[in-house]
Structure 1
Amino acid sequence: MAHVLIVDDSPTDIHAMRSALEEEGHQVSVSDSASDSLDVARETQPDVILMDVVFQGMSGFQGTRKLARDPATAHIPIVIISGKDQETDRIWGLRQGASEYLVKPVHAAQLNRVVAGLLGTPASGA
């Protein structure tokens, strides 16, 4: 299947997303900060990036903008997955280069539908 990079600093959220994605057969890598995700994405070239927003230092919005503008990673779709559920946050995330914006907690079926849609493949309906 696909390689998905999860960028999050919550072990609970990482575990839930990793479990859902691995059930669909995806390979998963993890980065615990937006700033580190820039190098990880360049090196591993994932098929999709799942980006949290709230981090110490560089925010997920800033990380998304940098990834979307970097020629080495601009082709990788980014899904912001955040606890910030205001419409202004969603609009801002999409303006930074995200393809999708989901609000935590994200259910496995919803996550897999969005990833499958970005990959152009059907989700199994987890």
Structure 2
Amino acid sequence: MRIKKILVVDDSPTDRYLLADILIKKGFEVDTADDGDVALNKMRLSEPQLILMDIVMPGKNGFQITRQIARDPDLKHIPVMICSIKGQETDRIWALSQGACDYIVKPVNADELVAKIAALAQ
């Protein structure tokens, strides 16, 4: 399955813009959400094929939302890639244990991001 539709979830307008810009230039359809609850609503309405999820956000953090997605029968088929400034190995391991399929550290390298997305589609 080729991934075309991506939902970027990040409370930072700058990070949302930068990620969306990279993805749009690479031919992806991009929607954004500034928190986890908005993201959950958008997932149900637009059915993205991938979620790029920040960790540090007000309200529910990215780990909590990822866990909620992984446990929801209607959403668990959507892969979640954590995209965070938190670069510790323990953060990556915790993200994967919450249901994330991959982890990328900001600032994001565009080629690395696209390669990780392509690897998910195989």
Smaller-chain TM-score bracket: over 0.9
SS of residue paired to 1:71: coil
Query: Gaps spanning 5+ residues in structure 1: where?
Result: 121-126
In the TM superposition, what whole-angstrom CA distance separates every residue of 1:75-121 from its partner, at most 9, and x where no partner exists? Answer: 1110001111111111000000000011111111111111111123x
% identical equivalent positions:
47
Q: Which amino acid aligns with 1:43?
A: L
Q: Which amino acid aligns with 1:11?
A: P
Aligned residues between the structures: 120
2:38 aligned residue (29, 33, 36): 36
Query: Gaps spanning 5+ residues in structure 2: where?
Result: none
- C-alpha distance in 2, partners of 1:35/1:89? 22
Query: Contact between 2:11 and 2:58, CA under 8 Å: does it hold in 1?
Result: no
- Name segments (4+ residues, structure 1) moved above 2 Å: none
- C-alpha distance in 2, partners of 1:56/1:15? 18
SS of residue paired to 1:88: helix
Normalising by structure 1, what TM-score?
0.90
Matches of residues 62-73 of structure 1 in structure 2 within 5 Å? 62-73=64-75
Query: Contact between 1:8 and 1:52, CA under 8 Å: does it hold in 2?
Result: yes
Normalising by structure 2, what TM-score?
0.93
